[in-house]
Amino acid sequence: MFTSIKTSKRNKLLVSELTRRLNLGAENTIARIAFAHSLSQDRKMELKQIKDSGGKEYSTKVLFGDYSEFYIGLICASYKLHKTDKDIARYIKMHIDDGLEQISQEIDLKSSITGSEFLTDAIERGIKYLA
């Protein structure tokens, strides 16, 4: 199992900016939200398109807390991988990078949005998707 994940160099700045702007807690919180946001788009990442790893580094414990099995399970289910697959960390990294970029683009379209508003909007979109 992997011990850490690093965002792309460009996304190191996005993590700090989104953490400050959305005020949802520590930087690992926005990374978790970015991961889930990207996965919710139901797009598959291509390993050959992985970005650099020159950005923010998270230990697995800091990134996922006590729930790493659940996050890994989401990747395994989405990509039909076994929990010991060597590429799981790469997929997680790609979804964090992708999610950070998507969230940044979404909130740039709105002049003022709070973290709570962003989360509420995302939840409402998800509920409409299920209906």
For residue 77, what are the CA distances in angstroms to 17, 30, 44, 58, 66?
31, 22, 12, 23, 19
Report the alpha-carbon angle 46-91-95, nearest 5.
Answer: 90
Fold for the domain defined by 4-130:
Arc Repressor Mutant (1.10.1220)
pTM of the model: 0.89
Determine phi and psi for 109, rounding to 5 degrees.
-75, -15
Amino acid at residue number 89: A
For the chain, what are the domain ranges?
Answer: 4-130
Tens of each residue's pLDDT in the chain, 131 residues:
789 999 999 999 999 999 999 999 999 999 999 999 999 888 899 999 999 998 889 999 999 999 999 999 999 999 999 999 999 999 999 999 999 999 999 888 877 888 888 888 888 877 766 55
Dihedral (CA of 99, 105, 110, 111) sign: positive
**Residue 58: strand pairing partners:** 5
